[in-house]
Amino acid sequence: MLEIHPVKAFNDNYLWIFKDSESLNACIVDPGDATPVIAYLKKENLSLSAILLTHHHADHIGGVNDLLALKDVPVYGPQSSYIPQVTKPLFEGDVVNLANTNFSVLEIPGHTLDHIAYYADTTSNTNNEIPVLFCGDTLFAGGCGRIFEGTAEMMYGSLQKLAALDPQTQVFCAHEYTLSNLAFAAAVAPEDSALQQRIQQEQAKRKNDIPTVPTSIELELRTNPFLRCSEESIVENFPEKAEQPVAIFAALRQWKDGF
């Protein structure tokens, strides 16, 4: 069975370590800082076997060189001049087997042009109880990433690609942004009872220092405004953009940037 554990870094990053339950070999996703990764591996008596990268921002790749100095392992990631450490460049439709699990590669540009995600379903992975998604900074619990390099059209398309995955998919995003994201969501849809219930639940988790991620595609479809650009409660904020979901998404993202 696939085991996934968060490693906290910086102020709000989650670096995800995963392994097969019967193995002591572990993979790390987006190691922005090597120090907490090395400490976790040592504490759990694990050996690093691979590095997976979703995009080139420093808080996702900053620890790669230090980890490679300790052990030469394959580095999976997008083909990008910003990440010369990548030894296994990946593209849409590629499949990589790690921790006895097949991960399909999804290209999801918008936050950056080189952004990819790793998705493991349950069809080709009989040892997985639920589908798993490592999506970096594209989809967040209650929100989505800023658009730094791509366009609103790109980001909307990427989010729609993720929204179409199995609703039970567990979403392992890279930051603890949930409460601020949900505060914005409540400003967009203040009468949404499902959203208010979620806010209470997530606040309780944070009071006890419990991560609010992973989230699920199903939960995001119900409460994340960036995945609901065609729903009446969201559209009514932008009546002039009715039946223009990409335009509504762009307006939402602009609103959130200044929120």
Burial tier of 69 (Cβ tally within 10 Å: 0-12, 13-18, 19+): exposed
Residue 184 tokens, joined? 């914005």
Catalytic residue among 30, 33, 56, 111: 111
Could you give the 3-state DSSP secondary structure of residue 153?
A: helix
Catalytic residue among 33, 57, 115, 121: 57
Catalytic residue among 33, 55, 115, 192: 55
- Contact criterion met (CB below 8 Å) for 253 and 238: no
Catalytic residue among 30, 33, 115, 175: 175
Question: What gap in Å lies between CA 6 and CA 16, rounded to an integer?
Answer: 5
Catalytic residue among 30, 33, 56, 59: 59
Question: What gap in Å lies between CA 44 and CA 31, rounded to an integer?
Answer: 17
Residue (of 76, 181, 79, 83) closest to 134 by Cα position:
76
Confirm whether 55 is a catalytic residue. Answer: yes
Catalytic residue among 30, 114, 137, 192: 137
Catalytic residue among 30, 56, 60, 114: 60
Tell me the C-alpha to C-alpha distance, in Å, between residue 19 and each of 61, 97, 141: 20, 12, 23
Residue (of 48, 40, 42, 46) closest to 7 by Cα position:
40
Which residues fall within 8 angstroms of residue 10, CB to CB, at 6 or more apart? 32, 33, 59
Confirm whether 60 is a catalytic residue. Answer: yes
Residue (of 37, 83, 41, 82) closest to 63 by Cα position:
37
Confirm whether 5 is a catalytic residue. Answer: no
Q: Could you tell me what percentage of the chain is helix, strand and coil, using 3-state DSSP and rounding each to the nearest 5?
A: 35, 25, 40
Question: What gap in Å lies between CA 51 and CA 34, rounded to an integer?
Answer: 11
Confirm whether 59 is a catalytic residue. Answer: yes
Confirm whether 56 is a catalytic residue. Answer: no
Residues assigned a catalytic role: 55, 57, 59-60, 111, 137, 175
